[in-house]
Amino acid sequence: MFVADKYEVVVIGAGHAGIEAALAAARLGCKTLLTTLSLENLAMMPCNPSIGGPAKGHLVREIDALGGEMGIAADKTCIQFRTLNVGKGFAVQALRAQADKKIYQAAMKSICENTENLDVKQLLIEKILVVDDKAVGVTCETGETFLADAIILASGTYLGGRIIIGESIFDGGPNGQRAALKLTDSLKDLGVKLMRFKTGTPARVDARTIDFDKTEIQRGDEPAQNFSFMTETPPVNQVCCYLTYTNETTHEILRRNLHRAPMANGIIEGIGPRYCPSIESKIIRFPDKERHQLFLEPEGLNTQEYYVQGMSTSMPADVQIEFLHTIPGLERAKIMRHGYAIEYDCIDPLQLKPTLEFKNIAGFFSAGQSNGTSGYEEAAAQGLIAGINAAALVKNFEPLILKRSESYIGVLIDDLVTKGTNEPYRMMTSRAEYRLLLRQDNADLRLTPYAIKIGLASAERKEKFERKLSEIETATKFLTENKITPSAEVNQKLSDAGIDEIHNVMPLAELLRRPNVTYAKLEKIFDVPKISDVAAAQVEISFFYEGYIKKQLEQAKKFEALENKLLPSDIDYNAMKNLRVEAREKLSALRPRSIGQASRISGVSPADISVLIVWLETLKS
């Protein structure tokens, strides 16, 4: 065995999960190796050219608040920004941006190559080395062995990857990359339970062959919002997207060729994503729907490639061309890359602790699509947590386990390790019980204290966060303590600002509970503290939604009481005869960290939870 080097943390894969994992571990002082099949494809976006969206935008803000890189890179390299759901409440509003794929990759590659403690190498990892149930290193295709104290699997969709375009099938990863075939065998040899999933992508078409006059233009916001709390200036919108639709002719072509669809004729074995189905799946699942919307999205500033969002397919090439030409604006479109499906192996996430470390292999972590998730944002969020916790293991500090009540990242990971998934998991706002508390605008207030405590917050981030916090506290105190008295002069000022008159003495804060009142309006009328726009927005939201926020905080407090009841890791559930047989089996297999986590396991009833609580109380007495 040729030992080429020794690292504290080795990360397998340099997609969105791997990058965040490696950067976090290196920034926390660990000597880290980031491996990738291709240095040119580090941080590649093999699917859609966008970052964010409902729930996903929340994840990006949370990644940023914790000291991750995705939000910063997105602000620097994205070319259109839009806030979605602006007509709805703050809880579901989300930022989505179109990325220039190549510029984003270049930015991330530069960050990785210039981060202290981080080496980046082009290597194909073939085997995980485990001694006495402890991960100790990896071996590569080149014959090199790299020893490690902790290993993070972030292999995306490359494990056992198989590309499918109609009857054309070949081993491979996204965008023509190689597949990691032997690594799958290594995981099986270690007793890791694997699942077979499938995802897909639509065709990319040449912009010069699109008739944009037949589509609806989708412009970016002016001014646009940032993903990162560190970005000072609003990003600039440089492109537009376009909306078009399928029609009955499109659907007829698809129906006529369903026998050639790999998903229908048995070629595809993996389970596909429920919330991002192929166009042929849509035709089957929604036979009465007259049309499906499609977004034409530019892949970058220096390419003619447009991504046909909403038309993922694995149909044969001739069928793809035929149905594409029925779409308004795409009648003469030329395909630059055909849509394809990719089948891949991923692990059953029920094998993981909430830290994302394997329960049965110490020092071995997994993050991203290798855990059965879909999406860049879900991957990056897991990668960041895996990187932090790998460093915690190496440096012997407390791991970071985020609660469902304090972050979407907490919801994501808890869902995976407690409930598992039988299809590619996608983050959605509906998965979070406390959406009003987990808004994208307050991600820094919720999570930056963790970044400061751990050591992932730069001095600049820490100073900026503390300044914002101070402004919010100062303004909140002032508005609560200072009252206004109705008078002709006061009511005239209110009226001039478009605010209804007052008839009783009230705190200034009471005005912010009115729907048309902003902090900026109060600044023009009263001598309130001068604060930044971002701090003012937090003050406005906190007072306007105060009753709802208070109610959710009370619910979260009850929830945390169960989360704080920790269960010993060595419990013999089979000896607890008052538990039902199914509960004993599920609890023994999953080994929940707390009463709260146990309560979310399928097959564990409220009566079983009562038994566990009584058992814990008896243990303390």
425 in helix, strand or coil?
strand
Alpha-helix residue ranges (DSSP H) falling in 317-442 = 317-324, 376-395, 408-414
Q: What is the pLDDT of residue 271?
A: 82
Nearest to 499 by CA among 475, 479, 523: 523
pTM reported for the whole predicted model? 0.95
Average pLDDT over residues 472-494: 94
pLDDT, residue 264, reads: 67
Per-residue pLDDT at 620 exceeds 90: no
Question: Contact, 300 vs 49, CB < 8 A?
Answer: yes
pLDDT, position 277: 85
Neighbours of 93 (CB within 10 A): 20
pLDDT at 412 over 90: yes
Pick the closest to residue 580 from 600, 598, 604, 562 (CA basis): 604
The pairing of strands 118-122 and 32-36 is parallel
| pLDDT tens track for 184-201 | 999 999 999 999 999 889
Residues 94, 412 contacting (CB under 8 angstroms): no
Whether 461 has a pLDDT exceeding 90, the answer reads yes
> Could you read off the pLDDT of 26-39 as tens digits, one per residue?
999 999 999 999 99
3-state secondary structure of 294: strand
Give the pLDDT mean for 455-478. Answer: 97
CB 69 within 8 A of CB 51: no
The confidence band for 444, taking pLDDT boundaries of 50, 70 and 90, is very high
- Asked if pLDDT for residue 502 goes beyond 80, the answer is yes
Q: Please tell me the predicted confidence (pLDDT) of residue 175.
A: 81
Residue 63 banded pLDDT, cuts 50, 70, 90: very high
Burial bucket for residue 505 (CB in 10 Å: 0-12, 13-18, 19+) = exposed
Q: Are 98 and 111 in contact (CB under 8 A)?
A: no
Q: Report which residue type is found at 220.
A: G
Q: How confident is the model at residue 390 (pLDDT cuts 50, 70, 90)?
A: very high
- Of the listed ranges 14-28, 254-268, 275-289, 383-397, the least confidently predicted one is 254-268
Whether the per-residue pLDDT at 411 is higher than 70: the answer is yes
Q: What is the distance between the alpha carbons of residues 371 and 353, in angstroms, rounded to a whole number?
A: 12
Residue 373 token pair: 């998730």
Residue 515 has pLDDT above 80, yes or no: yes
Average the pLDDT over 210-232 and give the result. Answer: 96
- Cα(448)–Cα(461) distance, integer angstroms: 9
Residue 621: band (very low, low, confident or very high) from pLDDT cuts 50, 70, 90: low
Tokens of 491: 């009511």
What is the reported pLDDT for 64?
Answer: 98
Q: Cα-Cα-Cα-Cα dihedral of 496, 501, 502, 507, to 10°?
A: -40
Share of the chain above pLDDT 90, in %: 85
Exposure string over 512-549, b if 16+ CB within 10 A, otherwise e: beeeebbbebbeebbebbebeeebbbbbbbbbbbeeeb
Does residue 530 have a pLDDT over 90? yes
Q: Over the chain, what is the mean pLDDT?
A: 94
pLDDT-derived band of residue 91, with 50, 70 and 90 as boundaries? Answer: confident
Q: Which of 42-46, 115-119, 143-147, 496-500 has the lowest mean pLDDT?
A: 496-500
The domains found in the chain, sorted by start residue, are 2-49+115-198+344-441 (3.50.50.60), 204-340 (2.40.30.260), 459-550 (1.10.10.1800), 565-620 (1.10.150.570)
pLDDT of residue 374: 93
pLDDT above 90 for 409: yes
pLDDT band at 265, cuts 50/70/90?
low
